[in-house]
Structure 1
Amino acid sequence: MLRTLDYRRPNYPHDTHPALVPGIGIDEQRRWYSVDKLVLIIAGALTVAFVIWGLTAPAQVASVADAAFTWVTYNVSWLFNITAAIILVVMLILAFSSYGRIPLGKDDEEPEFSTFAWISMLFAAGLGIGVLFFGPSEPLDYYTDPPPMTNEAETTEALHYSLGQTFYHWGFHAWAIYALVGGAVAYAAYRRGRVLLMSSIFETLFGKRRTEGFAGQIVDIFAIVATLFGTAATVGIATMQVQQGVTIVTGWGETGNTALIVIIAVLAVGFILSAVSGVARGIRYLSNINIVLTLGVVALVFIAGPTLFLANLLPSGLMSYLGNLPDMMSRSASWGEETQEFQSWWTVYYWAWWISWSPFVGIFIARISRGRTIRQFVLGVITIPTLLLVISYGVLGGTAMWMRSEGYPGFEDDADGNLALAPPEVFYTVVENLPALAAWVPLLSIAVLLVFAITALDSASTVMGMLSSKGSQNPRSIIVVFWGLVMTGIALVMLLLGDESALEGLQQLVIITAAPFAVIILLIIVAWFSELRTDPRAIRLRYADRAMRNAVIDGVDRYGDNFALEVVPSEPGQGAGAVIDSADSAYTDWYQRTNADGEPVDYNYRTGEWGDGWDPATGEFKAIIAEQDSDPKEPEGEGAPDAETPRS
């Protein structure tokens, strides 16, 4: 024991060398949870004001949104393109670097979920409303009206390129963005013991005081606003698709804005019941069933449709994606006005949408990935959902393009020579041309879309409740309901702004609100890498590398082939840790344990015991401390220290 203590320095917290800290889980810390009034008031006031403005003066909002959208796409579209490209490259480098072996949890922690369960939940995050809406319509759009400077419309080349372009928008780049946010949040919570907030990622950059103060609150406000508009776009798209399904099933013809309002109201009621009645778990189980049903619909289309054609098209479409990836990544406004317009309405919109969704999806996948290494996490998150989407979009989009080329009814041009089908109509038109599915799939799709939308509202509102409750994993129901109602209000405003082209209204506001958050996303890279550099495992790897190199050189020089390695003391500045100042605050401050008021408390990392007797399992102080006239229990209620069970 004396030999172990020889190298310790008195200013190490808890007399523990930073290379020996096993990590800290969020449930091991002590903190006060309460509503963050500043975040709630600012974010709530801004978004509620927007909803009121949109409902009372929609024409004015549309004009301002159009002007802002034009400015952003012509002046800031490069930022979205660069952000998506940088994140994909950085995440792949991170996965294959030595940092990839760092766990998103403590050193000895096993993954919380089995690999099969984890993959299933990634499927849940990867699938949703987009499959039935964009799956058949987006490839068809590129097939009949290819991206500028690519291929002639409705040719064999356009057929394959259209799938590659679709996979580009929904594949690796999207999930790299989610992996960045999710990985950084998971690392901060399960390795460094911080709360599940976006601002927790930036403690290394801002410092603890600023992160828990105004600078961190600004980050969380931007995260709330981005999530609100990104998820509202999803709810709006689901509403459009449900409206089209109702029209087909009932035969009512055009239903107009009244139907949109009714559907939004149904979603709001379903969400409120889920949020306040404790049926959220049931809704999530039903959502998982919906995923199975959605995959089932894709499989049925594959079987009932042009099976042999699709079997050949899917691998060709995937190779078109991989082969044309550098070319698609190089497209920007410098390619001309037509490319600029295409980028604005497609690529930039998708990058903005994924950035907007990243706090919501990122926190979700962080919650299910505790205990996995960064390498497992990054490669799994980027590849598994992408593969699923390649199959789903390839089947639905390939069938739609095949029906167009074969002259199936419903796929004709309008009087102007353009495809007459609107995006919400494409899926139902595909189904109508497959008699075995036409009778019941439209009705099933309405139910699937409604439950997916309610689940998205519930989950996203919970995340925003966390962001406005200082990271509490069980925010108050009233706050969750508030954010859900604001979100449905934004979705309604977006749809009404779009008039006959509702999708354009959705796209405009998503791009506008995501622009500031793109800068925050890039800062996450800097903040996360700064922390990984001081991670205990990273320190040990640097020690091991230097010690091994020194030992081998010295051993060969002194003994030739006949030497072995032994750990012995070295002169100061000559040992394995010579390149690291292990007493620097960057290495030691983060693992100093504190009580709920932020005051330092002694802690034994070997036994897991707190110096003042606090027990994280019960949230109470041990009886032996109480016998010494200490307060046996912290105050309860909203402001009490909480070791919560996360709501997933």
Structure 2
Amino acid sequence: MLRAYQESAGRKPGESSPHLDKIVFGIAAVVAVAFVVWGFVSPDGLGNVASTMLNGTMKNLGWLFVIASSLFTIFAIVVAVSRFGKIPLGKDGERPQYRTASWIAMMFATGMGIGLVFYGVGEPLFFYMSPPPGTVDASTTQAVDVAMGTALFHWTLYPWAMYAIVGLGMAYGTYRLGRSQLFSSMFEPLFGRRAVNGVAGKAINILAIIATLFGSACSLGLGALQIGGGIVAGGFADSVGSNLLILIIAVLTACFVASAVSGIERGIQWLSNINMVLAVLLAVLVFVGGPTLFILNVIPRSVGSFIDMLPAMASRTPAGDDQALVEWMSTWTVFYWAWWVSWTPFVGLFIARISRGRTVRQFVTGVLLVPSVISLIWFAVFGGGAIGLQERAEQARNSGGMLAQLGEGGEDINFDTVLFDLLGQLGLPSIILTIVTIITVVLIAIFFVTGADSASIVMGSLSENGAEEPSKFNVIFWGVSTGAVAAAMLLAGGDQPDEALEGLKNITIVSSVPFVIVLSMLCVSIWKDLSRDPLVIREDLAKAVLDSSVTTAIRAHEGEPFVMQTTEAELDEIELSPLEQGPEEDQIDPADGPATS
């Protein structure tokens, strides 16, 4: 994934990059360092401030996350089905840079991550045993449908619509209009070129770096929690405390720094490919060893439940005196929307770079559907498998076979270890189970390393005026900062894993508020850009000319029958726009294959 990320930008490894933007880098770096210092010096103080700010955010701005997420999804779908769908993300006549199979495979890579591994088992199982407030009774047939439908709501169309908006704006501006690959460049139609190259643009890029930093740190924190759970499940430690979590983050961050310094891009690519294979093998193991028939039945039921429940889920807000609903929303839906918003710069930039030459409709359709199908299968296998085993154990009153036994509030599901508990219920021999547990921990660790590597490249790029391959110092700085921020976020939550998880969630929600507004403005900017595209203007002009010609002919012939004809004009009689001509190096012949500049 990393090498494709670099090669799709058109820059070879070792090639020089634009100079460092001292203002953007300096301010973002100060924010990161100050947060880390605060987290290590006074973790309780940071945790208290984050909790207070979370309460204010949920009370006053919870509605913003709910409304904005639905509007982002509607916007992406409307753009795809509208007349803008025919616009290519490149010059007229340019072919896609990657074949469809490769394009889908790379999106599969972005669709897999620590989040799916961490929540794949625990979230549907939690909703089955503790459904959202005001829905259905726990541990029932209806609870299965609610659990799977809610999980899909959080992990399919909505997050990928957010990614699609950023990816669309970046791909259109870069490959269609020739703008720089800075986040701020997408706002040119809204603020003007001078503004995006000035203070406003720098502010947007700083917010993009900070959003990526906290979103990535949240993912890495989840990875550390689950690796700690794997260590406990494997019998290598009795419990997981803050010291062990920080040690895990430190070791994995050191691995990332070593890979960045040595420049082993091929090694990271190899690890990423191995990770995909391990993830698929793990899913096959659970599918075959778990309640296979139950999983197969869950897949269509999940889709139906998602469609049926969508209006209610999309309109649920943390308002009023229902404190249980407010807490549930901050723990789940609003947290997810904040997390996805913070990941949009990274994922959006990546999918933009692999989508050159595709049309807007192809881009949005692929980005929405491919990862959503992957998430559906993943949650059906792991979440559905967990629910099936839990239901079977409940019916047999076999407490030893249960993956969780919820008390009030659902605090008895341990998200750090529930994946390993699921593996333990598959009836594997002890030696095989130990090997699978170790492999699963390695899987999460590789996600940590490659995720930090890729996210750090994005932050480094934004710090260096859109450099496709930022300097090693910049990449290392943001990689270390990501690990340090993840550790600070965990410390702010508390010494226990469940408290640390809440610390991650609280800070992620609060830090993403400004970027929700940025994404909302981006939708307006993209619409203005697409409305002025030459392809759209030519279509409007052709319709206007045709209407005018028909009207004139009807008047001239006074209602009598007539025939209209068109003649082909010579090419040298037509003055082509710069976009239609393209730079010399971008002009391609259909026989030459896809453009590579």
TM-score (norm 2): 0.89
Does the CA-based 8 Å contact 2:124-2:387 persist in structure 1? yes
| Residues 519-543 of structure 1: CA deviation (Å, up to 9, x unaligned) | 0000001111111111111111111
User: How far apart, in 2, do the equivalents of 1:97 and 1:377 lie?
Assistant: 13
1:380: which partner in 2?
A: 366
User: How far apart, in 1, do the equivalents of 2:183 and 2:212 lie?
Assistant: 12
- CA shift, 1:556, in A, is 5.1
- CA shift, 1:59, in A, is 1.1
- CA shift, 1:417, in A, is 8.6
User: How far apart, in 2, do the equivalents of 1:176 and 1:127 lie?
Assistant: 16
Does the CA-based 8 Å contact 1:247-1:254 persist in structure 2? yes
| Residues 265-323 of structure 1: CA deviation (Å, up to 9, x unaligned) | 11111111221211133212321221222122112211111111111111101110111
- CA shift, 1:91, in A, is 0.8
Does the CA-based 8 Å contact 1:400-1:430 persist in structure 2? yes
Does the CA-based 8 Å contact 1:161-1:320 persist in structure 2? yes
Letter in 2 for 1:482: F
| Residues 212-243 of structure 1: CA deviation (Å, up to 9, x unaligned) | 11110000000000100000000000011111
1:206: which partner in 2?
A: 191
2:254 equivalent among 269, 286, 292 = 269
SS at match of 2:206: helix
1:104: which partner in 2?
A: 89
More deviation, 322-331/512-521: 322-331
2:479 equivalent among 484, 487, 490 = 484
- CA shift, 1:565, in A, is 2.8
User: How far apart, in 1, do the equivalents of 2:443 and 2:582 lie?
Assistant: 49
- Structure 2 stretches lacking a partner, 5+ long: 1-7, 394-399, 570-574, 588-595
User: How far apart, in 2, do the equivalents of 1:568 and 1:122 lie?
Assistant: 42
User: How far apart, in 1, do the equivalents of 2:274 and 2:92 lie?
Assistant: 35
2:387: which partner in 1?
A: 401
Distance 1:366 1:355, change over 3 A: same
- CA shift, 1:608, in A, is 3.9
Does the CA-based 8 Å contact 1:27-1:616 persist in structure 2? no
1:148: which partner in 2?
A: 133
SS at match of 2:416: helix
Distance 1:223 1:153, change over 3 A: same
Distance 1:421 1:269, change over 3 A: same
2:397: which partner in 1?
A: none
- CA shift, 1:606, in A, is 4.6
SS at match of 2:205: helix
SS at match of 2:417: helix
2:5: which partner in 1?
A: none
2:456: which partner in 1?
A: 461
SS at match of 2:297: helix
1:432 equivalent among 424, 436, 439 = 424
User: How far apart, in 2, do the equivalents of 1:362 and 1:262 lie?
Assistant: 31
Is 1:364–2:362 an aligned residue pair?
no
Q: Point out the structure with max Rg over C-alpha.
A: 1
2:63 equivalent among 57, 66, 78 = 78
2:38: which partner in 1?
A: 53
User: How far apart, in 1, do the equivalents of 2:211 and 2:561 lie?
Assistant: 62
Distance 1:313 1:255, change over 3 A: closer
Is 1:193–2:175 an aligned residue pair?
no
SS at match of 1:146: coil
User: How far apart, in 2, do the equivalents of 1:128 and 1:513 lie?
Assistant: 21
Is 1:564–2:564 an aligned residue pair?
yes
Letter in 2 for 1:539: I
Distance 1:474 1:32, change over 3 A: closer
SS at match of 2:107: helix
2:414 equivalent among 422, 439, 444 = 422
- CA shift, 1:431, in A, is 0.2
User: How far apart, in 2, do the equivalents of 1:383 and 1:92 lie?
Assistant: 11
Distance 1:36 1:418, change over 3 A: closer
SS at match of 1:406: helix
Counterparts in 2 of 1:56-67, with a 5 A limit?
Answer: 56-67=41-52
More helix by share: 2
1:307 equivalent among 292, 298, 303 = 292
- CA shift, 1:607, in A, is 8.2
Q: Could you say what the CA RMSD is over the residues aligned between the two structures, in angstroms?
A: 2.5
Is 1:494–2:492 an aligned residue pair?
no
SS at match of 2:234: helix
Does the CA-based 8 Å contact 2:91-2:582 persist in structure 1? no
2:144 equivalent among 113, 135, 159 = 159
1:257 equivalent among 242, 253, 259 = 242
User: How far apart, in 2, do the equivalents of 1:153 and 1:561 lie?
Assistant: 73
User: How far apart, in 1, do the equivalents of 2:408 and 2:211 lie?
Assistant: 37
User: How far apart, in 2, do the equivalents of 1:83 and 1:607 lie?
Assistant: 36
SS at match of 1:135: helix
1:294 equivalent among 247, 263, 279 = 279
- CA shift, 1:561, in A, is 4.8
2:546: which partner in 1?
A: 548
Letter in 1 for 2:506: Q
User: How far apart, in 2, do the equivalents of 1:102 and 1:607 lie?
Assistant: 15
1:602: which partner in 2?
A: none
- CA shift, 1:420, in A, is 2.6
More deviation, 327-336/90-99: 327-336
User: How far apart, in 2, do the equivalents of 1:74 and 1:391 lie?
Assistant: 35
User: How far apart, in 2, do the equivalents of 1:26 and 1:261 lie?
Assistant: 35
| Residues 368-392 of structure 1: CA deviation (Å, up to 9, x unaligned) | 1011100000011011100110110
User: How far apart, in 2, do the equivalents of 1:317 and 1:64 lie?
Assistant: 39
1:128 equivalent among 113, 126, 129 = 113
Does the CA-based 8 Å contact 1:410-1:429 persist in structure 2? no
Q: How many residues align?
A: 558
Does the CA-based 8 Å contact 1:498-1:506 persist in structure 2? yes
Q: What percent identity do the matched residue pairs reach?
A: 39
Does the CA-based 8 Å contact 2:292-2:385 persist in structure 1? no
- CA shift, 1:406, in A, is 2.1
- Structure 1 stretches lacking a partner, 5+ long: 1-24, 570-581, 593-604, 610-614, 618-644
More deviation, 93-102/408-417: 408-417
| Residues 449-501 of structure 1: CA deviation (Å, up to 9, x unaligned) | 11111111000000000101001111111011001111100000111122221
Letter in 2 for 1:370: R
- CA shift, 1:339, in A, is 2.0
User: How far apart, in 1, do the equivalents of 2:315 and 2:582 lie?
Assistant: 54
Letter in 1 for 2:412: A
More deviation, 208-217/331-340: 331-340
| Residues 572-619 of structure 1: CA deviation (Å, up to 9, x unaligned) | xxxxxxxxxx9xxxx99xx69xxxxxxxxxxxx75845xxxxx899xx
More deviation, 132-141/395-404: 395-404
Distance 1:392 1:154, change over 3 A: same
TM-score (norm 1): 0.82
User: How far apart, in 1, do the equivalents of 2:148 and 2:410 lie?
Assistant: 20
- CA shift, 1:366, in A, is 0.5
- CA shift, 1:109, in A, is 1.0
2:26 equivalent among 41, 44, 60 = 41
1:525: which partner in 2?
A: 523
2:3: which partner in 1?
A: none
Letter in 2 for 1:431: L
2:156: which partner in 1?
A: 171
1:354: which partner in 2?
A: 340
Counterparts in 2 of 1:581-592, with a 5 A limit?
Answer: none
SS at match of 2:467: coil
1:446: which partner in 2?
A: 441
User: How far apart, in 1, do the equivalents of 2:325 and 2:298 lie?
Assistant: 26
Distance 1:250 1:412, change over 3 A: closer
User: How far apart, in 2, do the equivalents of 1:419 and 1:495 lie?
Assistant: 18
User: How far apart, in 1, do the equivalents of 2:236 and 2:561 lie?
Assistant: 87
